[in-house]
Amino acid sequence: MKQLLLLVVLSSVASAAPFTPATALRYEPTPQELLENCRSAKKRAESALEAVARMPAANRTFDNTPWALDQIAADLSDQTASDTFLKYVSISSATREAGNECETLLGQFSVDMYSREDLYRALKEYASKGESLTGESQRLVAKELLDFKRSGLELPADKRAEVLALRKKLVELEATFGKNINEYKDSALFDKTELDGLPEDFIGRLEEVGGKYKVGLDYPDYFPFMDNAMNGGARRVLEGKFNSRATVQNLPVLKEVLALRLQAARLLGYPTHAHFVLEDRMAKDPRTVSDFILRLRKKVKILAADELATLKSLKHVFEGRASDGKFNAWDWRYYDNQLKKAKYSVDNQKIKEYFPADHVTEQMLAVYQKLLGLKFREIKDAATWHPDVKLYEITDAAGGEPIAYFYLDLFPREGKYKHAAAFSLIIGRVMADGRYQKPVSSMVANFNKSTKDRPSLLTHDEVETFFHEFGHIMHQTLTKARYGRFAGSATARDFVEAPSQMLENWVWDREVLQSLSGHYLDRTKKLPNELLGKMLAAKNVNSGLVTLRQLLFGSVDQLYHGKPPADTTAAYARLAREVAMIPTSEGTHPEASFGHLMGYDSGYYGYMWSKVYAEDMYSLFKAEGPLNPQLGRRYRTEILEKGSSRDEMESLKAFLLREPNEDAFLESIGLTPGKS
C-alpha cells in the first residue's frame, strides 16, 4: 500500500458550514492556483511555528507547545491535501507537475520544522516542567522529542546544518525518482501470432500500430500479457522492458540517494541508514530484521524448491526440445498461471467473468458494513477530480452524523498513479475548538475499464487487492486518535500493512466469495461450486516462491541501506539467485522502478513482518466466523480506531487477548508450524 506524505497549522476559526469533502478539497485548480495555495499554507504554518518558538518559557503548556506543533503539521496537511493528491490523479500534466512541486515544498518544510533549534528548545522547556501526562499525550511528547533528536538537534550547529541540507536534497531526489517511474512511457509491438493465449477482450482493446498490437507496461496490460502469452520470446521482450523502466533516469538518482542517506545517518551517529530508520519501527534494529528474513527463508526454502522443480517440469512439457532448460523471470507468471489451470483447472479469465467491478464494489462494501458495524452511502453528483470517481459517506450502523468520507477512483487514465493505493487526504483528529475533524481518504486503482462488449471484470487477484486497499481506507477513516500524527494508518511502518493484509483473507472464504460473485451476463449466477473449490484448492500454489519473492525485496532494501553496494544491479541479481531462486533477466535493472525504495526505505521487510501479524489476527475470525460482528467490532475498536495512539504491540495483544505468534502465518502458506 502507498500513503501520501501530507504534513501540516492551527486553524483559527471553525467553519460555520457543515463539513463535506468539497469544503476542504479543491478539484480543479490551475497549476498556478495550486502552487499559490501550497505556498500560502506553508507560510501560515511557518508563522504559527514562529509563535510557538517565541512564547515565554513560563507560559508553556501542553496545548500551546507539543499539541500546537502537531496541529500545525496536521493543518498544513489538510490545507494542501488536494494540491499534493492531484500529483497522482490529475488528467493535466501541468497540474501533476505543480502537485509534485508542492509535495517537495512540504517535504522540505517537514525537514525544516524538526531541524529548528528554537522549536526543540521550546519543547524541552515544556517537558522540563514535568507535568503529569498519560497515554496518547505522553506518547506525543516522547515522539516529538525523538523527531528533533533524529533531525540532529543534539549535534553541533555545523553538523546540524549539514544534515538539514542532506535531508532537503533527499526530498527532491525521492520525488524525482517516483515521478520518473510515474511518467515513464514505453510499450512493445507484437504480431497477432505473438498474442496466442491472450483473451479476445484483451486483444480487442489493444491499439493497432502499423499492423501490430501495442502492449504497454501499466498493470492492466502487463500482468494479463505475462500470465497468458504463450510466446516465450514475446514475454521476454515485455518483461525486459518492464524491469528496465526509468533505468537511465533513476539509476544515478538511486545511487545518490543511497549515498546521501548513509552520510546523513552517520552524521547523526547511526552506523547505517537502516539503523536510523528501524529505531522507530517495531523491529527496532537491522539484526532483528535480518534474523526475521533468514528465519522465514529457511522455513520456506524447501517448499519453494519443490515448487520450482514442478514449474521447470511444466515448462519442459510445454516447450519440449525448444526449452532452454532454465526458469527465467519471464516464465514465472505464465507457468504459475498454467500450473493452476493444469493441476486445478483454474482459468482466471473464466473466473473474472463472475467478478464485474460494479457488483464486486457493491458487495465488498456490504461485507465491510456488516463486519465493522457501518453504513456507507454514495453521494450522487459530488464534485470530484474525474467523472469515474465516486464519493461515499460513512456513518455508524446505529445512525447519527457522518463520521468520515472516502472516494473510489478505480480505473486507469493517462498520467494517473500506476498502482493501487489508499491516500489519506483529511486527517481525523481533535481540533483546537474541540470538534473532531472528519477524515477523508481515497482509494486509487487501475482496474480495466468497461468496453462496448463487456463491463469491467476483475481477476480474483484484483478482488483481493480491492479488499486490501479498502482495508487501508477503513484504517484511515475510522480513526479516533486525538492527535494527527497517530491518526488512521500513520502507525509504525512495519505494522501499517497488517490490518489490510488480514482483510485479504475474506476473498478466500466461500460465503464471502459467493456474495462477491455474479456473472456479468446474469448477476444471479454465482461462481460455480466446482470452480470455487478449485480456486480454494489452488490458493497455496507456489506460496513458497511468492514468499521468497517478498523476502527478496526486503533483502535488497536492507542491503542497499546498510553499506550501499557499488553496483546496485549486480547486488540485486545476486540476491535474486540466493533468495528468490529465480534470476533477474540479463540487461534489466529492476531497482530503477522499485518505487518503495523511496517511501519504504529500509522498511520493505514490513510487508512480511506485518503479514505474520495479519494471519495471527485472522486466526480469530477463522475460528469465530469471518463476518462475526462482535469480533469485527473488537477489531474496529482495538486496531482501526487506535491507529498509533498506543504502541502497536499493545493493540495486537488487546485484539488477540494473548501474545502474537507465527503459527497462523506458516499454516496460511501450507507449512506446519515448527517444521521447515
Q: For residue 629, give the amino acid letter.
A: P
How many Cα atoms are found within 13 Å in the side-chain-facing hemisphere of 129? 17
**Residue spans in the chain of domains classed CATH 3.40.390.10:** 353-527
Element (DSSP H or E) covering residue 214: strand 212-216
What are the angstrom distances between the C-alpha of 122 and each of 56, 58, 218? 9, 11, 49
631 close to 621: Cβ distance less than 8 angstroms: yes
Neighbours of 657 (CB within 10 A): 9
Cβ neighbourhood burial of 456 (10 Å; 0-12, 13-18, 19+) = buried
The length of the chain is 676
**Collapsed DSSP state (helix, strand, coil) of residue 324:** coil
User: Which pLDDT score is estimated for 581?
Assistant: 96
Q: What is the DSSP letter of 580?
A: I
What are the angstrom distances between the C-alpha of 269 and each of 142, 153, 221, 276, 318? 20, 12, 46, 9, 56
> Could you report the per-residue pLDDT of 525-570, keeping only the tens digit for each?
999 998 888 888 888 999 999 999 999 999 999 999 999 999 999 9
User: Which pLDDT score is estimated for 537?
Assistant: 87
Domain 245-344+540-676 fold: Neurolysin; domain 3 (1.10.1370)
Closest CA to 25 of 389, 475, 412: 389
| Cα dihedral across residues 519, 525, 526, 529: positive or negative | negative
> Could you report the per-residue pLDDT of 394-434, keeping only the tens digit for each?
999 999 999 999 999 999 999 999 889 999 999 999 999 99
194 is catalytic: no
544 close to 300: Cβ distance less than 8 angstroms: yes
How many Cα atoms are found within 13 Å in the side-chain-facing hemisphere of 580? 21
231 close to 194: Cβ distance less than 8 angstroms: yes
Distance separating alpha carbons of residues 494 and 603, to the nearest angstrom: 7
361 close to 447: Cβ distance less than 8 angstroms: no
**Collapsed DSSP state (helix, strand, coil) of residue 609:** helix
User: Which pLDDT score is estimated for 16?
Assistant: 44
Helices (H), 373-496: 460-477
Cβ neighbourhood burial of 23 (10 Å; 0-12, 13-18, 19+) = exposed
Out of 37-46, 102-111, 287-296, 401-410, which region has the weakest mean confidence (pLDDT)? 102-111
C-alpha cell at 541: 500454489
Pairing of strands 187-190, 429-430: unpaired
Q: Kindly indicate the confidence band of residue 19, based on its pLDDT and cuts at 50, 70 and 90.
A: confident
Neighbours of 565 (CB within 10 A): 17
Q: For residue 622, give the amino acid letter.
A: K
Residue 3 above 50 pLDDT?
A: no
Element (DSSP H or E) covering residue 212: strand 212-216
User: Which pLDDT score is estimated for 127?
Assistant: 97
Mean pLDDT for the stretch of residues 93-110 = 94
Residue 514 above 50 pLDDT?
A: yes
315 close to 426: Cβ distance less than 8 angstroms: no
User: Which pLDDT score is estimated for 172?
Assistant: 94
User: Which pLDDT score is estimated for 31?
Assistant: 97
> Could you report the per-residue pLDDT of 250-278, keeping only the tens digit for each?
999 999 999 999 999 999 999 999 999 99
User: Which pLDDT score is estimated for 13?
Assistant: 33
Mean pLDDT for the stretch of residues 473-478 = 98
> Could you report the per-residue pLDDT of 612-621, keeping only the tens digit for each?
999 999 999 9
Mean pLDDT for the stretch of residues 169-188 = 94
Mean pLDDT for the stretch of residues 430-447 = 96
Distance separating alpha carbons of residues 640 and 471, to the nearest angstrom: 9
Mean pLDDT in the chain?
93
C-alpha cell at 53: 518558538
Distance separating alpha carbons of residues 165 and 7, to the nearest angstrom: 19
Distance separating alpha carbons of residues 496 and 415, to the nearest angstrom: 27
Residue with cell 529505531: 279
Distance separating alpha carbons of residues 331 and 315, to the nearest angstrom: 8
* Extended beta strands in 146-287, E state: 187-190, 207-209, 212-216
C-alpha cell at 588: 534489466
Which residues make beta-bridge pairs with 377? 393
Percentage of the chain exceeding pLDDT 70 = 97
User: Which pLDDT score is estimated for 6?
Assistant: 31
User: Which pLDDT score is estimated for 14?
Assistant: 38
With the CA atoms of 239, 242, 247 and 253 taken in that order, what torsion angle do they form, in degrees rounded to the nearest 10?
Answer: -130
Q: Kindly indicate the confidence band of residue 321, based on its pLDDT and cuts at 50, 70 and 90.
A: confident
User: Which pLDDT score is estimated for 671?
Assistant: 87
21 close to 27: Cβ distance less than 8 angstroms: no
* pTM of the predicted structure, to 2 decimals: 0.83
User: Which pLDDT score is estimated for 343?
Assistant: 86
Closest CA to 439 of 374, 504, 484: 484
Q: What is the DSSP string of 480-493?
A: --SSGGGSTT-S-T
Instruction: Read off φ and ψ for residue 189, nearest 5 degrees.
Output: -105, 130
**Residue spans in the chain of domains classed CATH 1.10.1370.10:** 245-344+540-676
525 close to 353: Cβ distance less than 8 angstroms: no
Encode burial over 361-398: b for 16+ CB neighbours within 10 A, e otherwise.
bbbbbebbeebbbbbeeebeebebbeeebbbbbbeeee
Residue 12 above 70 pLDDT?
A: no
Domain 353-527 fold: Collagenase (Catalytic Domain) (3.40.390)
105 close to 87: Cβ distance less than 8 angstroms: no
* Extended beta strands in 385-431, E state: 390-396, 404-409, 421-426, 429-430
User: Which pLDDT score is estimated for 17?
Assistant: 60
With the CA atoms of 152, 154, 160 and 164 taken in that order, what torsion angle do they form, in degrees rounded to the nearest 10?
Answer: 20
Q: Give residue 147's region: left, alpha or beta (phi > 0; psi -120 to 50).
A: alpha
Q: What is the DSSP letter of 637?
A: I
Encode burial over 587-617: b for 16+ CB neighbours within 10 A, e otherwise.
ebbbbbbbbbbbbbbbbbbbbbbbbbbbbbb
Residue with cell 521487510: 605
> Could you report the per-residue pLDDT of 206-250, keeping only the tens digit for each?
999 999 999 999 988 999 999 999 999 999 999 999 999 999 999
Which residues make beta-bridge pairs with 519? 522
Contacts of 15 (CB under 8 A, 6+ apart): 23
592 close to 246: Cβ distance less than 8 angstroms: yes
User: Which pLDDT score is estimated for 325?
Assistant: 85
Distance separating alpha carbons of residues 32 and 34, to the nearest angstrom: 5
> Could you report the per-residue pLDDT of 576-596, keeping only the tens digit for each?
999 999 999 999 999 999 999
582 close to 552: Cβ distance less than 8 angstroms: no
Residue 435 above 70 pLDDT?
A: yes
User: Which pLDDT score is estimated for 346?
Assistant: 82
Residue 103 above 60 pLDDT?
A: yes
Residue 10 above 50 pLDDT?
A: no
User: Which pLDDT score is estimated for 672?
Assistant: 77
Q: Which of 469, 497, 591, 615 is catalytic?
A: 469
Q: Kindly indicate the confidence band of residue 4, based on its pLDDT and cuts at 50, 70 and 90.
A: very low
